């Protein structure tokens, strides 16, 4: 018989990534009774699960960490873009400094949560992944920090279960790894994880088949090592750079060029794009001209520059329109670009083939490989599903969350996400989320958003305790107001021109809508801080 543990807390947090750890640390500092439940066996959220070949951060390491000086002062990343192993070491460093693990239950998945109107508390069920032990936890407030990439999306491919080789989604890669040397490898998907696996595996596999639906607009990473001396000198700039993060659109230490691509001469525009290109990384995306997401002509200039630079690296001209099309598959940057180190050179290798799924779709998976519409069976030893996530909302709706009337949170979101301030949903009292739906989340540097939105949530929970409030719930009117603001901003952009996970369009049956707050971090913080200054009028408080 499975044993059962009962416990009570004021606040229960789900998830031990950047957002969950920040909540734990700050709430604990302020004297709250708080506990975290994490489904993985270690810290880091997505960085526990992302251990596939080539997995690494797409943000400069110095800015991909908490802003607390006692955490960064004696921590050094060895590369500009750290790999998953080094990010894990960073989380262990944070744990050593702050002693977070003592208030975290690992290897345990929250499966159910039901609100009790009589006690104004959540009754939560969590199950140990290994032993099956059930933890029954009651908490006044439930804070979900499940991130935007915690529920893998696996396409419904006929015969997928029959494949007899090695098969894994990138987000569920075996912790012990897989030796790909000499294997026949197939990768379905060319998003961030697909790009990383492809460029890492191509030099060692016997043969690589890439199954591409939409060309990835990947940007050069400009990876390099960072010496201890450079780290020491760089840290002199950390306080100013960290302080700047909340004032930039995406929470980095740089921002858009404050002019339109149409306001400068052809020569000046090319010069600026060359400079951004040489810096590399997301600077060419989120440090580009201010109207790159709103003006089609400006966007096209940026795309054409990328296309011409990229084609110079592809020897086979027959692949130019496959990998870097003459006309953009969608406006530049409205799908999250991937960062690459040698992705396009991979397709110069004799042992690499690419299948364009829009013209030659997958018909079925067989025990030996993948059959496409042209009748060819691509025989494989290893099949990698780099097919992304039920992003932003999937981690929340995967939990059976019900209000006192028995209404399901997942059912509530079937017709689309709806929140007030990107933090709470009407009908589900005392439930808050950080880095979740309709917050800046995927448009923002993770650690920055974890701190910026997270600080607001901590202040809100302080306010509730100080005012002896035991039940809060956002109003439908507040949700409509927030939705209208998101819709208004989105309508002025090019984001709805792409079938992206930003819009929920990658998962069949999911409502197509902007899942994040698209106005940028400063505008978001203005909205939520104005709410705080006015006593949180979006919420009914009892």
Chain segment 444-479, per-residue pLDDT in tens: 999 999 999 999 999 999 999 999 999 999 999 999
Hunting for tokens 């960085």 — which residue is that?
47
> Is-above-0.85 flag for pTM?
yes
Region 514-531 average pLDDT: 98
Give the dihedral of Cα atoms 75, 94, 447, 193; nearest 10 deg. Answer: 80
Domain positions in the chain are 4-151+390-471+518-527, 160-385
Indicate the average pLDDT of the chain.
Answer: 97
- pLDDT at res. 72: 98
DSSP helix/strand/coil, 309: helix
CATH class of this structure's domain 4-151+390-471+518-527: alpha beta
Report DSSP state, residue 264.
S
Asked whether 475 and 538 are in contact (CB, 8 A), the reply is yes
Pairing of strands 184-188, 382-385: parallel
Contacts (Cβ under 8 Å, ≥6 apart) of 400 = 111, 112, 113, 408, 410
Strand partners of residue 121: 116
Instruction: Give the C-alpha separation, 449 to 443, whole Å.
Output: 9
Asked whether 399 and 110 are in contact (CB, 8 A), the reply is yes
Chain segment 30-86, per-residue pLDDT in tens: 999 999 999 999 999 999 999 999 999 999 999 999 999 999 999 999 999 999 999
Count of all residues that appear for the chain in the document? 542
Q: What share of the chain in percent tops pLDDT 90?
A: 99
Instruction: Give the C-alpha separation, 38 to 260, whole Å.
Output: 45
Structure tokens at 217: 């607009």
| Main-chain dihedrals φ then ψ at residue 219, nearest 5 degrees | -110, 145
Residue 184 has pLDDT above 90, yes or no: yes
Residue 1 pLDDT grade (very low, low, confident, very high; cuts 50, 70, 90): very low
Q: Would you put residue 533 in left (φ > 0), alpha (ψ -120 to 50) or beta?
A: alpha
Asked whether 481 and 286 are in contact (CB, 8 A), the reply is no
Q: Which residues of 502-541 are buried (b: 16+ CB within 10 A; e: fewer)?
A: bbbbbbeebeebbbbbbbbbbebbebbeebeeeebebbee
Asked whether 309 and 301 are in contact (CB, 8 A), the reply is no
Instruction: Give the C-alpha separation, 238 to 212, whole Å.
Output: 40
Chain segment 298-328, per-residue pLDDT in tens: 999 999 999 999 999 999 999 999 999 999 9
Residue 388 has pLDDT above 60, yes or no: yes
């Amino acid at each position: 018989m499975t044993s059962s543990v009962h416990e009570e807390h004021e606040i229960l947090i789900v998830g031990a990534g950047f957002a969950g750890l920040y909540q734990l640390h700050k709430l604990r500092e302020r004297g709250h009774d708080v506990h975290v439940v994490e489904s993985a066996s270690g810290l880091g959220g997505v960085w526990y699960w992302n251990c596939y070949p080539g997995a690494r951060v797409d943000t400069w390491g110095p800015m991909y960490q908490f802003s607390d000086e006692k955490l960064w002062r004696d921590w050094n990343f060895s590369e500009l873009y750290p790999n998953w192993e080094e990010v894990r070491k960073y989380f262990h460093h944070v744990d050593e400094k702050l002693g977070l693990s003592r208030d975290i239950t690992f290897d345990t998945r929250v499966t159910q949560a039901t609100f009790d109107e009589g006690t104004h508390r959540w009754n939560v069920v969590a199950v140990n992944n290994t032993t099956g032990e059930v933890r029954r936890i009651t908490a006044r407030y439930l804070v979900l920090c499940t991130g935007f990439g915690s529920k893998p999306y696996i396409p419904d491919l006929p015969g997928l279960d029959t494949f007899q080789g090695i098969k894994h989604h990138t987000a569920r890669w075996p912790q012990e790894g897989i030796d790909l040397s000499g294997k026949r490898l197939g990768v379905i998907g060319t998003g961030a994880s697909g790009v990383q696996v492809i460029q890492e595996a191509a030099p060692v596999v016997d043969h690589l088949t890439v199954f591409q639906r939409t060309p990835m607009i990947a940007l050069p990473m400009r990876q390099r090592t960072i010496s201890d001396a450079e780290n020491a000198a760089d840290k002199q700039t950390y306080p100013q750079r960290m302080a700047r993060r909340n004032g930039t659109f995406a929470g980095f230490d740089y921002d858009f060029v404050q002019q339109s691509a149409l306001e400068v001469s052809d020569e000046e525009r090319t010069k600026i794009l060359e400079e951004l290109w040489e810096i590399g990384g997301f600077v060419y995306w989120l440090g580009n001209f201010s109207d790159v997401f709103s003006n089609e002509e400006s966007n096209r200039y940026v795309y054409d520059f990328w296309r011409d630079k990229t084609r110079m690296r592809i020897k086979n001209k027959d692949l130019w329109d496959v990998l870097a099309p003459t006309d953009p598959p969608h406006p530049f940057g409205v799908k999250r670009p991937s960062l690459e180190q040698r992705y396009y050179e991979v397709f110069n290798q004799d042992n690499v083939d690419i299948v364009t799924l829009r013209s030659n779709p997958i018909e079925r998976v067989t025990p030996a490989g993948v059959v496409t519409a042209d009748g060819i069976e691509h025989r494989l030893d290893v099949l990698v599903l780099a097919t992304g996530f039920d992003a932003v909302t999937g981690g929340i709706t995967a939990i059976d969350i019900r209000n006192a009337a028995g209404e399901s949170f997942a059912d509530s979101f079937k017709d689309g996400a709806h929140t007030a301030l990107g933090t709470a949903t009407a009908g589900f009292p005392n439930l808050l989320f950080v880095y979740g739906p309709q917050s800046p989340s995927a448009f923002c540097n993770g650690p920055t958003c974890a701190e910026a939105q997270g600080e607001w949530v901590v202040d809100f929970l302080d306010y509730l305790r100080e005012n002896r409030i035991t039940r809060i719930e956002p109003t439908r009117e507040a949700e409509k107001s927030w939705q209208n603001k998101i819709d208004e901003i989105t309508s002025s952009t090019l984001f709805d021109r792409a079938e992206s996970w930003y819009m929920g369009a990658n998962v069949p049956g999911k409502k197509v809508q902007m899942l994040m707050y698209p106005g940028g971090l400063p505008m978001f913080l203005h909205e939520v801080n104005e709410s705080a200054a006015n006593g949180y009028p979006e919420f009914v408080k009892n």
